[in-house]
Amino acid sequence: MNPPLAVDIAFILLALFAVYTGWRVFRTDSMVRASFFLLLSFIAVGAIMLLLSAMYLGAAMFFMMGVEMMVMALFMVMFMMNPAGLNPMMMVHQHRLAIGAGIASFVIVAAMALLARFPHRPLPADLQEVESLGNELLGESMLIFESAAVVLLATMIGVVVLSSQRGRYGNAGEGSMPPGLDPGGEPAGMPEKDDEDDGGHHHCH
Amino acid sequence: MILDQLVWPLALVLAALVLGPYLLAVLDGLVARGLGLTRGPGLWLAPLRRGAWWLIQHTNVTEAPDGRAWRLAPALYLALAAGGLALVPWSRAWVATDIATSLVLWGSIEALATVVIFLQGWSANTHLTLVGAYRYVALGLSYILVSMFVLIGVALPAESLALTQVIISQQELWNVLRQPLGLPLFLIVGLAITFRGPFNLADSTDLAGGTSADVSGAQRLVWEFARSAMLVAFSGIATAAFLGGWLGPWLPGPLWVAFKMLAVLALLAWLGPAFARLTPEHCVSLMWVVLLPLAFVDLIWAGVEALS
Amino acid sequence: MTLTTVLLLAAALIGIGIYGALSQQSFVMLMMGLELILNGVMLAAVGFWAMSGAGAPEGQLLTIVVMAVMAIEMAMGFALVVAVYRGKQADVTEAIADLRH
Amino acid sequence: MAVSWLARLAACAPVPVFPALGMRGEEALYRLALSPEIKLVDSPRHASLLLVAGGVPPSMQQALRRVHDQFPAPFTTLWYRSTPLVELPRAAVTTVDSLDALPGALVESHGSLLRNTVGHSPRLLPDAPPHPWQGLGDDGHGGEGMMGGVPYGRPMAMPPTEDLRDGLALDVLTFRLGPFFPLWPPGLEAEVILQGDIIQQFSVQSSPFPRALAPVFHEAREQSVAIAALERARARHHLQALFHALHLAGLEGLARDALRLADRCPSGDIALLAKWFKTFERRMKRRGFFALHLPERGALRQEQAERLGGFAARAAGIDRDARTEDDGYRRLAFATITQQAGDTRARWRQRLAEIAQAFDLAARAQRDDMRTAQTDAVETPRGAWRDSRPGGTSPLLEDLLPGLEWGEALASLASLELAALSPWPREERAETQMGGAA
C-alpha cells in the first residue's frame, strides 16, 4: 500500500512544524506563547495521527490538548508573577547537561528506529478503527480503561486536597516565605518591604 | 463524483459561511427593532453599513501587543467556525468533511475556540481585554463539558460518532423529541460559546467590549463576523444532531437543513437579548450545578432509551 | 510516510522534551517538557499500530492510556505547584530542595 | 471609486460616538441615547467621534488627550458646551451649544468625515510608552529573571495585600481608569488592582464631578414648591440612573425605555406614567435584572449607609427621610420605605419602590395642589439637604469594592450615588419648566 504523494508532503510539513513549534516552546519569551507553541506541536502530531487513519485519537488529541494547554497557559500566567505572562524568560539550570541528554536520547531512539527491523503489517483495508477501539475499550480491556478512570478520580480528589487553602494542619499559607532573589538572600517582594517604588505605574484609559 | 463529494458541499459551506452571519445580523436587527432600539428602513442594509464602517476605520495598535497572535486570533476563530460548518451534512452524499468521528472533531473545535478567545483578549496587552479573556477561560471548560455530554447522548442511538449516522438514526423520531433535554442544553451552550446575550461575559458591556475592547477596524469586523459564523456553525450542528438534518418531506435535503438552521438562528437571536447578563458567579453555578447534572440526566435518558 | 520517518519524528520530540524537562527551572515549563516526551510516545504508539501492528486495537488503547497519564501528570503537577507556592511563594524547582516540612 | 462607494454606505450607519462627559454633561448622553441615528459606545476604539460634553477641568485635560489619542483614524471631535483643547486644529473641532442641534451635528460630522471634507484629528501626544524601555527581550516587555524588574516603569505583578479569594497571590493586574470611563460616574478616577477579575484594591484618585439636580430641589430650599413637581423630578432622576444600570446589564431596550419614561416625567399624565412604570418594572423583573444580574453583594456598613444618606441608607434599613418632617408630606400620609439587606440588589429595589412612591405622591399632591411646608430640609434623590449640601462620598468605594468581581463592582457602583451635589441647578428647558409649574 503506497500512500499518495499528497499524504507524504503533508506528513513532512506537519513533522517539520511539530518539531519547530516543540523547539520554540523553550525558546520563546512569554509563557503563554510557550504553552500555545506546545499546543501547535500537539495539533500537528494529531493531524499526523489522522493521516495514519487513527480518526478517533487524532480528533481526541485536538480536544484534549486544546483544554490542557489552555489551563497550562493560565497557570503559567498565574505563577510566573508577571503581567499577563509577557516578560522575557530564560530560566534554565544545568543547560549543557540538558542539551546533551536531549541529543543523546534523540540519537538513541533514532538509532533504534533506523536499525531495528519492525514487521511490516499495515492496516487491513476493511478495518473499522473507531469501532474496534470502542469494542476493545468496553470489551477485553475494560479493566484497564476502568482503572484509568478510577485513577483519574483519585487524582481529582488528591489534587483538591493538595491545593486547597485549609489543609489538615490549618491554613496552608501560614508562615510562608518567598525565596530570595539570590540563594539565601532576603525574601523578595514581600509587600511591606516594598521600598523600591517606581516613578509611576499609570496606564490610563 | 467529484461534484458530489467536493464541489457542492464546499459551495454550500462557503454560502453558509457568508450568508449565515449576514442573516443573523438581519435577525438581530429585527429583534433590536422589536425592542425599540432602531427604527426606520434599511433592515437589510444595516449590517452592510456597519461592515463598511469597520472597513474604513483603521486597525489600531495597543502598547506592545503580541502582534502576530493579536492579528491572527479573529481569523483563527473564523477558521474554527468554518471547520465546524464543514462538518454539517447537507444531504446523505453532500458532506464536506465526512469522517467517522465528526462529533469528536466538533468537540475539539469548541475546545480550541477557548484558546482563540483567550488569545484575542490576552495578546492585546491591555487590562479590560485580559479580564474578558480570563473570564471566558474560567467558564469555557464547563461549556465544553455540557455540550459533550449532550452530544454523546445523540451518538448513543446512532451507535456512531459520525453526524451522518446520527441523522440516519433519527429517521423515525427526531432527537429533539427523543431526548427533550438535549436541544435546549445545546443551544444554551451555543449562546455561551459565542458569548451572546445573558452569557456575554467575555465581550460584555461592563468591560467596555471585553476581549474586543481595544480592537477596531477590519480586525473587529472579522471578529464579529467570526462570532456570528460560530453561532451559524452551532445551528448547523444542532440541526444535524437534534432536528433530523436533511430529513423532511417534499423538499430536497440541503434546503431542509438551511430552513432548520435559520429557525434555530432566529430562536437564538430572539433569546439572546431577552435576558440580563449573568454575573460570573451565577454563570459558574448555573453551568456546574444545574446544566451539567441536567446533561447527565439527558445522557442516562439517552442510554436507557437506546437499550430499550 | 513510513514507520521509520514517524519514529524519527517521535525521537525528535522526545529529545526536545528531555532537554526541556532537564533544563527548565520553572515547574510549569518542566511539565511542558514532560508533555512533549509523552507527545512523542503517543505518536510512536500510533505509528506502530498503523504500520506494524495490523490495526490491533491495543495500539490505540496504549495511546489512550498515555493521554490519561498526561492528564494525571498535569493535575498532580499543578497541585504540587500550588502546594509549594503556598509554602514558599515560588514556582522554581530549586525552592523545594527540601520538601520535608 | 470603490472607496467612495464604501464611504457612502458607511455614512448611513449609526454614528458611533464615544462620550467623554465633563461637568454637567449627562444631559447630552441621555439625549443621544434616545437618538436612533447615534450609537453610543464604551470604548474609544469603537468610535469615530469623540464627544466632549460639559466642562473639563484643566487637571483632566491630559487624560482627555490620552482618550483622544486612543481613537483609530479616521475620527474627529465635537464639543458640547465645552472648550476645545487649544492644540487641536480648527478643522478637527466642531462646537455645539444647543442640545437639540447635537444629534444632527454628530451625524453631519460623521458624514463629512467619511466624505473627507473635515480634517482628521491629529495625535496630540507622542506615541511613546509612558516610561522608557527598561528591559530585555524582542518585544520589549522588559525585565530579567523571575522578578523581572520594572518593565515600562510598571511594577512587576506583586500582590500589595493578602489575596482575598484563595490565599494564592497570583495574576495581579494594576491599572488606572477614568476620569472619562463611561461605565462609572464622570470624573471618577481610580487606581485598581485586580487579581483575575476580583478587585483587590481600589484607590480613588479623583472624585466624581458634582451632580446637578433639577432646579425644583433648589427652589424648595428657598420657597414652598409644588410637591408634584418635586416628586416628578425625583422619579426622573432615579430613572436616568436606572439607564446606566440597565445598560451595564446588557438590557439595551429597557435602558432606552427608562430614559423615555424619564423624559415624560416632568409633564406627562401622572396616572399614565405610574401605569407605564408598573409594566416597565414587571418587564425588568422578567428579564432577570434582579435575579440574574444584580449581585447580593456590595452591602454598606451601618455607618457608611448613614454617611451616604438618602435611598442608600433606607435600603440598609435606616428609617430616615427629610420628607417626614414636612407638613405637606405629612398630609399626604407619606411613609418611608426601607429595605433590610443594604446591598446592590436592595438598593435598586429601594430606588424602584421610591420611583413608584414618587408617582403615587405626585398624583395625590397634584389633585389637591399640595405644596411643601418647610424650606430648611429637602430630601433630594442624593440624600437630605439640610444645612449643607450632601457632599462627595467616593472614598467609601475603597472599602466597599475590594473583594467584588469586576462586573459586580460596576453594578454596585451604578446602584450608588457618590457625587457631591452641585451648588447650581441643572438648566431645564422651557417645556420642562412649564410641566413643573402645572
Which residues of chain D are within 8 Å of residue B204 when distances are taken between CB atoms? 250, 407
- Residue D74, preceding bond cis, omega within 30 degrees? yes
| pTM of the full structure | 0.88
Per-residue pLDDT of chain C (101 residues; tens, 9 = 90+): 788 888 999 999 999 999 988 887 777 788 889 999 999 999 998 888 888 877 788 888 888 888 888 888 888 888 877 777 766 655 556 555 555 44
Q: What pLDDT does residue B67 have?
A: 79
The answer to whether the Cα torsion of D291, D296, D298, D303 is positive or negative is: positive
Q: Cα separation of B167 and B92, whole Å?
A: 9
Residues β-bridged to residue D365: none
**Is C76 close to A123, i.e. CB distance below 8 A?**
no
Q: What pLDDT does residue D424 have?
A: 83
Closest CA to D371 of D230, D233, D226: D226
B69, B108, B140: residue with CB nearest A59: B108
Q: What pLDDT does residue D147 have?
A: 42
**B240-259: average pLDDT:** 86
Q: Where are the domains of chain A?
A: 1-82, 130-166
Of A81-85, B201-205, D60-64, D187-191, least confident by mean pLDDT is A81-85
Q: Cell 510549569 identifies what position?
A: C28
**Is C57 close to A106, i.e. CB distance below 8 A?**
no
**Is C86 close to D146, i.e. CB distance below 8 A?**
no
DSSP helix/strand/coil, D183: coil
Bigger pLDDT: B92 vs D152: B92
CA C3-C7-C9 angle, to 5 degrees, is 120
Residues of chain A whose pLDDT is less than 50? 1, 83-85, 173, 175-176, 178-182, 187-205
Q: What pLDDT does residue C11 have?
A: 92
**Is D406 close to B131, i.e. CB distance below 8 A?**
yes
Long-range contacts of D148-151 (CB under 8 A, 24+ apart): D148/A81, D148/A82, D148/A87, D150/A198, D151/A82, D151/A83, D151/A87
**Is A73 close to B66, i.e. CB distance below 8 A?**
no
Most confident range (mean pLDDT) of D43-57, D323-337, D418-432 is: D43-57
**Is B135 close to D197, i.e. CB distance below 8 A?**
yes
Which residues of chain D are within 8 Å of residue A82 when distances are taken between CB atoms? 143, 148, 151, 156-157
B143 touches chain A (CB under 8 A): no
Residues of D in CB contact (< 8 Å) with A are 63, 66-67, 130-131, 135-139, 141-148, 150-151, 153-161, 166-168, 170-178, 180-181, 191
Domains of chain D with bracketed CATH: 2-114 (3.40.50.12280), 154-206 (no CATH), 215-437 (no CATH)
Q: Which residues contact A153 (CB under 8 A, 6 or more apart)?
A: none
Task: Tell me the three cell numbers of residue B244.
Answer: 433530523
Nearest C-alpha in D relative to A86 = D141
D173-209 pLDDT, tens digit each: 778 887 899 998 898 999 888 887 888 889 998 888 8
Q: Cell 500537528 identifies what position?
A: A44
Bigger pLDDT: D155 vs B12: B12
**Is D176 close to A172, i.e. CB distance below 8 A?**
no
Q: What is the mean pLDDT of chain B?
A: 88
Longest dimension (CA), chain B: 61
The alpha-carbon gap from C38 to the nearest alpha carbon of chain A, in Å, equals 10
Q: Where are the domains of chain C?
A: 3-96
Q: What pLDDT does residue A79 have?
A: 66
Which residues of chain C are within 8 Å of residue D169 when distances are taken between CB atoms? 89
B107 touches chain A (CB under 8 A): yes
Q: Cα separation of B77 and B86, whole Å?
A: 14
Q: What pLDDT does residue D177 have?
A: 87
D74-106 pLDDT, tens digit each: 888 899 888 888 888 887 888 888 888 888 988
Tell me the count of B-D CB pairs closer than 8 A. 157
Q: Cα separation of B114 and C97, whole Å?
A: 36
Q: What is the mean pLDDT of chain D?
A: 82
What percent of chain B is predicted at pLDDT more than 90?
Answer: 34
Which residues of chain B are within 8 Å of residue A128 when distances are taken between CB atoms? 100
Q: Assign D139 a pLDDT band (cuts: 50, 70, 90).
A: very low
**Is C85 close to D167, i.e. CB distance below 8 A?**
no
Determine the number of helices (DSSP H) and then strands (DSSP E) in chain B: 13, 0
B272-307 pLDDT, tens digit each: 888 899 888 889 999 999 999 999 999 999 999 888
Q: Cα separation of B278 and B197, whole Å?
A: 9
Burial string for B74-97 (b: 16+ CB within 10 Å, else e) reads: bebbbbbbbbbbbbbbbbeebbbb
B155-173 pLDDT, tens digit each: 988 888 889 889 888 888 8
C83 touches chain D (CB under 8 A): no
Chains B and A touch (3+ CB pairs under 8 A): yes
Q: What pLDDT does residue C76 have?
A: 84
Residues β-bridged to residue C26: C92
Whether the per-residue pLDDT at D334 is higher than 80: the answer is: yes
B24-60 pLDDT, tens digit each: 988 888 888 887 777 667 788 888 888 888 888 888 8
What percent of chain D is predicted at pLDDT more than 70?
Answer: 86
Q: Which residues contact A184 (CB under 8 A, 6 or more apart)?
A: none
Give the burial class of D112: count Cβ atoms within 10 A of its Cβ; 0-12 exposed, 13-18 middle, 19 or more buried. Answer: middle
Q: How is domain C3-96 classified at the CATH fold level?
A: Helix Hairpins (1.10.287)
Query: C-alpha distances in angstroms, D31 versus B211, D19, D101, D105, D426?
Result: 29, 12, 11, 13, 15
**Is D7 close to B130, i.e. CB distance below 8 A?**
no
Q: Cα separation of A182 and A189, whole Å?
A: 13
Residues β-bridged to residue D95: D79
